[in-house]
């Protein structure tokens, strides 16, 4: 009996050491795991569908109109774990791991915005067929929400852009830093200046995942990203749009949000004070309150005449 107890103790020590090492070597993966556990504990069920690019994982809970949350590049469904549970009493919530992110295929190889968009299309055709959905997207997720509404306005009741859109940034973005200094500059541009930078072992993991993960895989084909911008075509996106913007986001900047508000024909801008580029993590309470407020309001109504500044430019995805 004593030997058995000693063996169990040794196994527990080994597991503890491995867990500690994992927290230091892969802290972002550990953090994502806790977020996904939070979704499950809040009643979200994980399932999968067959998408164009393979298995697409989706988390689902609630009843009512379909409300779809789309995460940003390099992220996964768990980013919404502090927001979505508060809305499931009013909506049927769908949160995918977009293609190449989280547990969704493909696990390796280049990713494109077209592949991400096809994942949204597969999800809605499978889980929300015949419905007019509400799309809420952060960063790249906001880009995808605009693209989908542009291509399929009959399937989208309204969209909410959370620090994201389908316009070219004012300044070039370096999302794949090579040094701790570059990574810290990137982080400081994304969050409220009052927040401290994470410890170096987390910064090192940010550098590694930015190159090896979905962001690096998306960066392999910059021409593809250019193809899916809606420069000169925002007037064609007449779906009612709320722009929820963390006002401390310096990655895209407040002028980006104001341009969306000015050029989209049916839009409304709401600022989130002391929030950065990913409000779902930095200020989830404020984001939840503002999101609930705008969804309870009458959607912005379109005005003006549809016109394009650049007639020769192709529609996104065409």
Q: Is residue 285 part of a domain?
A: yes
Total tally of structural domains belonging to the chain = 1
- Predicted pLDDT at 12: 40
158 in any annotated domain: yes
Percentage of the chain modeled with pLDDT above 90:
81
Alpha-carbon span 278 to 71, nearest angstrom = 9
CATH of the domain at 213: 3.40.50.1820
Report which of residues 19 and 136 the model is more confident about: 136
pLDDT above 90 for 10: no
Is residue 20 domain-resident? no
pLDDT 10s digits, 106-149: 999 999 999 999 999 999 999 999 999 999 999 999 999 999 99
User: Residue 23 pLDDT more than 80?
Assistant: no
Q: 235 is in which domain, residue-wise?
A: 28-296
pLDDT of residue 171: 83
Domain assignment of residue 15, yes or no: no
Instruction: Answer whether residue 9 is part of any domain.
Output: no
Q: What is the mean pLDDT of the chain?
A: 89
Taking residues 145-162, report their average pLDDT. 98
Please report whether residue 186 resides in a domain.
yes
Q: What is the pTM of this model?
A: 0.89
The average pLDDT across 3-17 equals 44
Q: Is a pLDDT exceeding 80 seen at residue 8?
A: no
What confidence score (pLDDT) does residue 98 get? 98
Residue 230 CA to chain centroid, in angstroms? 19
- Nearest partner of 185 among 194, 172, 197, judged by Cα: 197
Residue 316 has pLDDT above 60, yes or no: no
Residues 6+ apart with CB under 8 A from 98: 70, 71, 104, 116, 119, 120, 140, 141, 144
The reply to whether 318 falls in a domain is no
Instruction: Give the pLDDT confidence score for residue 99 in this predicted structure.
Output: 98
**pLDDT tens-digit profile of 28-62?**
999 999 999 999 999 999 999 999 999 999 999 99
Backbone angles phi, psi at 186, to 5 degrees: -60, -45
Predicted pLDDT of residue 172: 81
Name, in order, each residue with C-beta under 8 angstroms of 249's C-beta and a sequence gap of 6 or more: 163, 189, 190, 275, 276, 277
Domain annotation covers residue 157:
yes
pLDDT at 60: 98
| pLDDT for 24 | 53
Q: Alpha carbon 25 to chain centroid distance?
A: 24
CA atoms within 13 A on the CB side of 227: 11
Q: pLDDT tens digit string along 242-276?
A: 999 999 999 999 999 999 999 999 999 999 999 99
Per-residue pLDDT for 182 more than 80? yes
- 139 versus 2: which is more confidently predicted? 139
CA of residue 232 relative to chain centroid, distance: 24
From the list 70, 161, 60, 166, the residue with the least C-alpha distance to 116 is 70
What confidence tier does 221 reach under pLDDT thresholds 50, 70, 90? confident
């Amino acid at each position: 009996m004593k030997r058995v107890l000693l063996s169990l103790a040794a196994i527990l020590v080994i597991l503890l050491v491995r867990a500690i090492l994992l927290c230091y070597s892969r802290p972002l993966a550990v953090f994502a795991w806790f977020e996904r556990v939070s979704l499950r504990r809040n009643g979200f069920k994980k399932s999968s569908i067959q998408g164009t690019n393979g298995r697409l994982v989706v988390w689902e809970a609630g009843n009512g109109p379909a409300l779809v949350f789309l995460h940003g590049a390099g992220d996964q469904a768990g980013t919404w774990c502090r927001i979505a549970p508060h809305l499931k009493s009013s909506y049927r919530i769908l949160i995918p791991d977009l293609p190449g992110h989280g547990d969704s295929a493909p696990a390796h190889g280049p990713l494109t915005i077209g592949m991400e968009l096809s994942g949204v299309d597969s999800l809605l055709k499978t889980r929300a067929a015949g419905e007019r959905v509400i799309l809420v997207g952060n960063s790249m997720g906001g880009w995808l929400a605009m693209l989908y509404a542009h291509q399929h306005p009959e399937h989208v009741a309204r969209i909410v852009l959370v620090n994201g859109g389908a316009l070219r940034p004012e300044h070039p973005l370096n999302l794949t830093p090579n040094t701790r200094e570059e990574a810290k500059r990137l982080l400081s541009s994304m969050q409220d200046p009052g927040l401290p930078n994470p410890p170096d072992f987390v910064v090192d993991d940010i550098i590694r995942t930015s190159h090896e993960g979905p962001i690096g895989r998306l960066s392999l084909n910059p021409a593809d990203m250019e193809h899916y911008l809606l420069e000169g075509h925002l007037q064609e996106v007449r779906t009612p749009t709320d722009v929820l913007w963390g006002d401390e986001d310096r990655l895209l900047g407040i002028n980006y949000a104001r341009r969306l508000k000015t050029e989209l024909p049916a839009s409304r801008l709401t600022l989130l004070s002391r929030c950065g580029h990913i409000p779902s993590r930095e200020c989830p309470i404020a984001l939840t309150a503002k999101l609930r407020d705008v969804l309870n309001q009458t959607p912005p109504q379109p005005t003006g005449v549809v016109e394009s500044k650049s007639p020769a430019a192709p529609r996104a995805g065409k």
